[in-house]
Structure 1
Amino acid sequence: MQTVASILWRRLDAPGHDACRLERNASAWQLDGAAVFRMEDGRIGQLHYRVRCDLHWHTQWGTVRGWLGEAAIDLSITRDARGHWKLNDEAVSDMSHCVDLDLGFTPATNLLQLRRLNLEKGESADAPAAWVDLDGGGVLSELMQRYERRSESEYAYEAKRFDYAQVLVVTPDGFVKDYPRLWTAER
């Protein structure tokens, strides 16, 4: 893998940081990162993550390893060619319409949707994602998201499940650099 871009974020709603790099080879894209943070309930977490996509930005697999409070985290998520998802080798039903993996503890995975959608200014699209819920014990469920490209670097973003709607500002590489109320890129 060859590194294409990297970024360091600072969490805004709680103490924390995340470092991620985007890599590529002849057949795949990959996010490789690590996040350290404090949850709302006071637990401290340290998680390493990796997400692999094909050249068209369709998620193939992801891993999350580390700890959250007293609990060890070791998740393996796969999506086969027919769109079927598995979490730690157990099938997850009703998720085949989700193309993207969203790791809720990091802003890194928004890059996957933005790159795959490749929206022109003024265009919008729904992007349902397979979302890793760490608060729920590491389950995989649907997260409905919507993006609308406003300019070269701005996207209106909405995730109704969390009553969240803001304008995200992205880098030329596609990383979110300003995620209002949640994350900002270190400058």
Structure 2
Amino acid sequence: MNINDAESAPVILWRRVDQHGHESARVDHVGEGWRLTGTAVFADDAGPCCLSYRIECDAAWRTVRTRVTGWIGQRTVDVEIAVAADGVWRMNGVEVPQVAGCVDVDLNFSPSTNLLPIRRLNLAVGERADVRAAWLRFPSLALEPLQQTYIRTGERAYRYESAGGAFVRDLTVDEAGFPTRYPDFWEREGD
């Protein structure tokens, strides 16, 4: 698959395994960079949720801009995140100093954003890398730093760790880098 060919832009459909829900995402080569878009529809304690996102990255897969819109129960969501060249992050125009210097955005409600460091790091089998992501928590939508570790354990397999090793999952990914199996939370549907 040529990820640069719009005719073959990678797309995926996931099913939630811990509650009712689905998500679909797509990655496109746009100009000199990349765009990851998707929509997650799922049940939550607050009620039905529908969250659409657009993440723009530069040529090296570094997050530049993110927009999340939709609803969580009765609450309307419209979040705009921008990253300046100097590593300063702003959410809805307000600087968020605790995530300064982060490279990736991580959407807590979606498996799609694991693709960003997987593509950016391009680890060889057996290699590991620590990253610090700007984590958009769900359902609070607070932007917080999250220390993460990616270890490539196979051709299409990664061990993902966060919160100092308190959260660990073995991810299976497709050739584009989308997780096809995120144990306890998401599985790819169809082919």
- In which range does the TM-score fall when normalised by the shorter chain? over 0.9
Deviations 1:103-157 (A, max 9, x none): 1111111000100111111100112110111322x21001111110011100011
Any stretches of 5+ residues in structure 1 without a counterpart?
A: none
Say which of 64, 78, 83 aligns to 1:79.
83
Percent sequence identity is 40
Aligned-partner Cα distance in 2 for 1:63–1:89: 12
Say which of 147, 150, 154 aligns to 2:150.
147
Q: Secondary structure at the match of 1:14?
A: coil
Number of equivalenced pairs:
185
Q: State the partner residue of 2:188.
A: 185
Q: TM-score, normalised by structure 1?
A: 0.94
- Displacement of 1:44 in angstroms is 1.4
Q: State the partner residue of 1:107.
A: 111
| CA RMSD across the alignment | 1.5
Q: TM-score, normalised by structure 2?
A: 0.92
Structure 1 runs of 4+ off > 4 angstroms? none
Q: Per residue, is there more helix in 1 or in 2?
A: 2
Say which of 128, 131, 134 aligns to 1:127.
131
Note if 1:171 corresponds to 2:174: yes
Q: Secondary structure at the match of 2:112?
A: coil
Deviations 1:75-117 (A, max 9, x none): 0000010110000000001322310000111111100010011
Say which of 163, 175, 178 aligns to 1:160.
163
Aligned-partner Cα distance in 1 for 2:116–2:162: 16
Q: State the partner residue of 1:38.
A: 43
Aligned-partner Cα distance in 2 for 1:36–1:103: 14
Aligned-partner Cα distance in 1 for 2:83–2:118: 19
- Displacement of 1:163 in angstroms is 2.9
Do the aligned partners of 1:129 and 1:145 also contact (CA within 8 Å) in 2?
yes
Alignment of 1:16-35 (within 5 A): 16-35=21-40
Aligned-partner Cα distance in 1 for 2:118–2:43: 27
